[in-house]
Amino acid sequence: MDTELASFIREHKDLTRRFFLRLGAVGASSFSALPLFCSDDGQDPALDRKIREIESWLTLQDGFRDVSRGNPRPHSLDEAKRKKVGLTRDTWSLEVLSDPENKASLGRQLTKKDNTAFTFKHLMRLAKTRAVRFPKVMTCLNIGCPLGNGIWEGVPLREVLWLTQPGRNLRRVFYHGYHNDDPEQMFRSSLPVGRVLEDLYDLPPVILCYKLNGQWLEPRRGAPVRVVVPEAYGFKNIKWLSHLYLTNDWRANDTYGEQNNDVDSPLKTFCDPFPLPSSVKTGQPVPVTGYAQVGISGLSKVQVWIHNDAEKLPPEDEYFLKAPWRDATILPPPKSWGGGLADNRIPSPTYGFDPKTGQPRTWPIRLSRAHWAVLLPGLPAGKYTLRCRTIDSNGAAQPLPRPFRKSGRAKIGEMPLTVEA
Ligand SMILES: Nc1nc2c(c(=O)[nH]1)N[C@H]1C(S)=C(S)[C@@H](COP(=O)(O)O)O[C@H]1N2
Ligand SMILES: [Mo]
């Protein structure tokens, strides 16, 4: 297991202690369909306990893991300095310019110099009629594990683009945030203009985001305004947004591209187990829980496989396609959403949720996360490896269909388990 993952899982454990979540008991029937992997009548109390310890579905703003560059990091500036550099709601403004290197044809630019920059007041005026909300898991392409899951609120970015009266030469949108006015510290990202203007495959729009889980975005999360791209990895979600450059360049200029990443990769579906006890007694059933990232291709199943390390792994089966995988149970929507939502209510309307009942229309929700559980049978003494994988809605078993690290993590989850005599 890589150390990044190890530290992630340790942090998850702390989170679960801090933010307890009560899940409804998962019906015994869903387990009895799995003769090899269930206790035969009713839910195992140890599994029940483990399910109750699972992290909340939504993450508190300060519970997100932070991926912020800058020296100092923009969110660490004191309030007076943040006011001075335009990082508060009353001082923020966004410049929307034609890229000097590859000019886009615009009727007008929105600049500080001409006093035409786009302000937070302008944003709130648009929000009255245009605001949208959607759930999204924020995942760093380089780290691989989710940093947090939230309901993000904002105004579609295209609304601002239209204010520039774009003409025929416009192919991409480049954008960056406040970076201590030091070009070396600039963290850049980009999108094809088509993605900004149109929402493909039932995706929510790319937004200028100002709220998370119903609260104003906090400095650490990119306040006052960040870009949020529903299907993208973290690096497209620029915090402390300050500049948009509309360009006729057809190439990406993302900082992450320089780090050997696929900059057009949508979120992959994958799962990981939560930590197991370091050892269990022989014959003692083992409750296992975990999370799944529901990527662009959805999630139809989570499966587990326990393998005795003393036995050889199947030869010429790199992705363990022939291993005896067993289905785990994808847990139903939680009773309590977490994330500090007022009155535990999903704000209405939110993509994927019924505005009347506040309940999800389908479950699990794409581009977000889900949790799962399974009870392993008692095992003979030995050293084992528990593996888990997802099957996406197209039937592709993890790490397929894109087993390449630089388009996002999809590695089959692994956890060691020692069974003592
Ligand atoms: N301005 C700016 N925006 C940024 C970054 C940054 O360093 N500077 N990091 C990006 C990366 S690589 C990730 S993974 C996400 C992480 O979002 P979070 O810190 O809210 O969890 O923010 C993105 N937005
Ligand atoms: Mo990242």
Cα 184 vs. chain centroid, distance in angstroms? 27
Q: Decide: helix, strand or coil at residue 232.
A: strand
Atom of ligand 1 nearest to the CA of 64: 21
Ligand nearest the Cα of residue 147 is: 1
Q: How is domain 3-54+268-420 classified at the CATH fold level?
A: Immunoglobulin-like (2.60.40)
Q: How is domain 67-258 classified at the CATH fold level?
A: Sulfite Oxidase; Chain A, domain 2 (3.90.420)
Distance in angstroms (rounded) separating the CA atoms of residues 388 and 275: 13
Beta pairing class for 270-273 and 279-281: unpaired
DSSP 361: S
What are the residue ranges of CATH 3.90.420.10 in the chain? 67-258
Ligand nearest the Cα of residue 68 is: 1
Distance in angstroms (rounded) separating the CA atoms of residues 276 and 278: 6
- Cβ atoms of 87 and 219 within 8 Å: the answer is yes
pLDDT at 38: 39
Q: How many helices (H) and strands (E) does the chain have?
A: 7, 19
Give the pTM.
0.90
**Which residue's CA is minimally distant from atom 11 of ligand 1?**
235
pLDDT at 42: 59
**Which residue's CA is minimally distant from atom 12 of ligand 1?**
235
Report pLDDT digits (tens) over 190-248. Answer: 999 999 999 999 999 999 999 999 999 999 999 999 999 999 999 999 999 999 999 99
What are the residue ranges of CATH 2.60.40.650 in the chain? 3-54+268-420
Atom of ligand 1 nearest to the CA of 221: 20
Distance in angstroms (rounded) separating the CA atoms of residues 1 and 145: 13
Whether the bond between 401 and the residue before it is cis, its omega within 30 degrees of 0, is yes
pLDDT at 314: 85
DSSP 220: G
Phi and psi dihedrals of 56, rounded to 5? Answer: -70, 160
Distance in angstroms (rounded) separating the CA atoms of residues 301 and 299: 6
Q: Which two tokens stand for residue 274?
A: 């939560």
Beta pairing class for 207-212 and 215-216: antiparallel
Compute the half-sphere exposure of residue 309: CA atoms within 13 Å on the CB side of its CA.
12
pLDDT at 30: 28
**Positions in the chain short of pLDDT 50:** 1-41
Residue recorded with tokens 């581009």 = 367
Beta pairing class for 132-139 and 118-119: unpaired
**Which helix (DSSP H) or strand (DSSP E) does residue 197 occupy?**
helix 193-197
Beta strands in 213-342 (DSSP E): 215-216, 226-228, 241-247, 270-273, 279-281, 286-294, 301-308, 326-327, 329-330
pLDDT at 9: 38
CA of 265 to the centre of ligand 2 (A): 13
Distance in angstroms (rounded) separating the CA atoms of residues 164 and 301: 46
Burial (CB count <10 Å: 0-12, 13-18, 19+), residue 168:
exposed
- Cβ atoms of 360 and 333 within 8 Å: the answer is yes
Ramachandran area for residue 244 (φ above 0: left; ψ -120 to 50: alpha; else beta): beta
Atom of ligand 1 nearest to the CA of 178: 1
Residues with CB under 6 A from ligand 1: 64-69, 138, 140, 147, 177, 187, 221, 234-235, 237-240
Q: Which residues surround ligand 2, an ion (CB under 5 A)?
A: 67, 140, 234-235
Number of Cβ within a 10 Å radius of residue 258: 10
Whether the bond between 377 and the residue before it is cis, its omega within 30 degrees of 0, is no
